[in-house]
Amino acid sequence: MKRILSIVLSLALVTTGCSQVRHVDVTDDATPLAEVNRSLRQRNATVLRKDGSRLLVKHVSLAPDCTDIIFEGPPARATVLPTWTIDRIETTSAARGALDGGLAGLLGGLAVGALLGAALYSEEGDIYSRSDTMTVSAFFLGLIGLTAGVAVGAIAGHRDEYSIRAAASSTACE
């Protein structure tokens, strides 16, 4: 049973902590920026600048020339950065990580349980059929995988990264 649990946990660890990278080309057309701004709304983020500095912010609003940010912590202060100085923006979601991990753990547990049930089936003196053994094993290992996946996924989180491509501009931001 310990070996099965370690397999399920390994599958959960491998598939959780998922990340998604979106490339954002900043142009004068505000349509793609509106979609990015909507997904960044009310989320803590890390803004990584091209000079290597990292800014922890609680609000980001991208625009073609200048980006509005509000820093975390008391006192929350707002500032404006030239968009071309931003390399990428990263956010992490524990809830989405729990969903990703739960799904991966459930599917992994179901698969391992079904295979294990088929492998452990014995016709001698067994009152259950092979499919019954596979179903019961898949059910219980699926539950274990789901639980482990949700826990690990919530800890690791789901990371969204927005890679910003913007041409250098001489526009002053105020």
Question: Is residue 151 in a domain?
Answer: no
Handedness of CA 123, 124, 129, 132 (dihedral sign): negative
Question: Is residue 43 in a domain?
Answer: yes
β partners of residue 165: 25
Q: How many CA atoms lie within 13 A of 56 on its CB side?
A: 5
What pLDDT, on the 0 to 100 scale, is given for residue 19? 76
What pLDDT, on the 0 to 100 scale, is given for residue 71? 86
Question: Is residue 72 in a domain?
Answer: yes
What pLDDT, on the 0 to 100 scale, is given for residue 130? 82
Question: Is residue 77 in a domain?
Answer: yes
Q: Residue 65 belongs to what domain range? A: 23-86
Split at pLDDT 50, 70, 90, the class of 72 is confident
What pLDDT, on the 0 to 100 scale, is given for residue 6? 67
What pLDDT, on the 0 to 100 scale, is given for residue 112? 92
Q: How many domains does the chain have?
A: 1
43 φψ region: left (φ > 0), alpha (ψ -120 to 50), beta (else): beta
Structure tokens at 110: 């179901």
Question: Is residue 160 in a domain?
Answer: no
Q: Mean pLDDT for the chain? A: 83
Which residue pairs from 72-78 have beta carbons closer than 8 angstroms and sit at least 24 positions apart in sequence?
A: 72/44
Provide mean pLDDT across the span 96-125.
Answer: 88
End-to-end CA distance of the chain: 62
What is the value of pTM for the model shown?
0.68
Buried residues in 113-150 as b, exposed as e (16+ CB within 10 A): bbebbeeebeeeeeeeeeeebbbebbeebbebbbbbbb
pLDDT, greater one: 80 or 35: 80
Question: Is residue 65 in a domain?
Answer: yes
Q: Which residues touch 148 (CB under 8 Å, ≥6 apart)?
A: 5, 8, 9, 12, 101, 105
What pLDDT, on the 0 to 100 scale, is given for residue 42? 78
Question: Is residue 97 in a domain?
Answer: no
β partners of residue 20: 160
Q: How many CA atoms lie within 13 A of 24 on its CB side?
A: 30
Question: Is residue 30 in a domain?
Answer: yes
